[in-house]
């Protein structure tokens, strides 16, 4: 599912863009949801890392789209951002906020569909590399490559990232389902490790590259060793 937000004060322009997106969804088979905001300030106030693509009109009544995008980037530097404008020369401002692209009104369906195909392809690749979780401080996007290991204590899950820790409420089983299985392995009831950080394997424990020693349960030992062996054999090729 791809989630899209359109920040556009013109109802007519919003409906035309939304119809083009729905047409693309039907022809491509991609499942897409679209949410409309007339106010950039309302969008920013409600933003919770819950969109994959944002179409931002540049000329808005409360604050302009460029300023709104600067405020967005202060929260989220990675979400795909596309400027929508009547004036093509204004789109150059998108470089300052790392806009993925821009489209000029009236929207051309074929150019839009090519852009959506490119963005969605990148989003799907990116999803393998990140996980977004809800913490006490708000939503946080975590690079899976930085996760050394994950620890559960009661209903608190902690991501150990080497230089910091991120904790949220949940279960390790639910967390495990969100992780790429080729990179992570559950080695004990309360631990999941990132295989690339495994330094050595003992009979009942793993030593990670940061010196952390993680226990391995007897029942999980075979699977753990198989995954670690497969990972390192693949890395040697």
Say which residue, 99 or 151, is predicted with more confidence: 151
Per DSSP, 118 falls in state: H
Q: How far is CA 213 from CA 142, 224, 230, in A?
A: 23, 15, 21
Do 122 and 134 lie in a common domain?
A: no
Do 139 and 174 lie in a common domain?
A: yes
The domain that holds 62 is classified in CATH as 3.40.50.2300
pLDDT in tens, 6-39: 999 999 999 999 999 999 999 999 989 999 999 9
- Beta-carbon contacts of residue 110 (< 8 Å; ≥ 6 apart): none
pTM for the complete prediction?
0.60
Q: Which of 79, 94, 127 is at the close of a domain?
A: 127
Do 169 and 98 lie in a common domain?
A: no
CA dihedral 47, 125, 147, 131 (to 10 degrees): 30
Do 171 and 117 lie in a common domain?
A: no
Average pLDDT rounded to a whole number, residues 149-167 = 92
Per DSSP, 54 falls in state: E
Do 77 and 134 lie in a common domain?
A: no
Average pLDDT rounded to a whole number, residues 48-52 = 84
Do 10 and 51 lie in a common domain?
A: yes
pLDDT score for 233? 66
Do 27 and 117 lie in a common domain?
A: yes
Most confident of 27-36, 101-110, 127-136, 222-231: 27-36
180: left (phi over 0), alpha (psi -120 to 50) or beta: beta
> Domain residues for 39?
2-127
Say which residue, 94 or 230, is predicted with more confidence: 230
**pLDDT score of 237 more than 70:** no
């Amino acid at each position: 599912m791809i989630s899209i937000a359109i920040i556009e004060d013109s109802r007519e322009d919003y409906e035309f863009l939304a119809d083009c997106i729905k047409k693309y969804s039907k022809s491509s088979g991609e499942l897409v949801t679209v949410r409309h905001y007339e106010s950039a300030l309302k969008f920013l106030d409600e933003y919770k890392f819950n969109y994959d693509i944002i179409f931002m009109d540049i000329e808005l009544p409360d604050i302009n789209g460029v300023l709104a995008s600067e405020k967005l980037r202060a929260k989220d530097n990675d979400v795909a951002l596309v400027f929508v404008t009547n004036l093509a020369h204004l789109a150059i401002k998108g470089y300052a906020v790392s806009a993925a692209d821009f489209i000029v009104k009236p929207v051309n369906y074929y150019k839009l569909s090519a852009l959506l195909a490119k963005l969605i392809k990148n989003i799907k690749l990116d999803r393998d590399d990140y996980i977004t979780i809800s913490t006490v401080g708000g939503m946080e996007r975590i690079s899976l490559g930085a996760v050394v290991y994950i620890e559960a204590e009661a209903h608190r899950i902690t991501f150990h990232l080497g230089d910091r820790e991120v904790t949220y409420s949940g279960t390790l089983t639910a967390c495990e389902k969100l992780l790429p299985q080729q990179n992570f392995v559950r080695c004990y009831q309360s631990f999941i490790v990132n295989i690339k950080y495994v330094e050595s394997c003992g009979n009942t424990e793993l030593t990670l590259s940061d010196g952390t020693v993680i226990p391995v349960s007897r029942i999980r030992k075979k699977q753990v060793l198989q995954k670690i062996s497969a990972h390192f054999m693949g890395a040697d090729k």
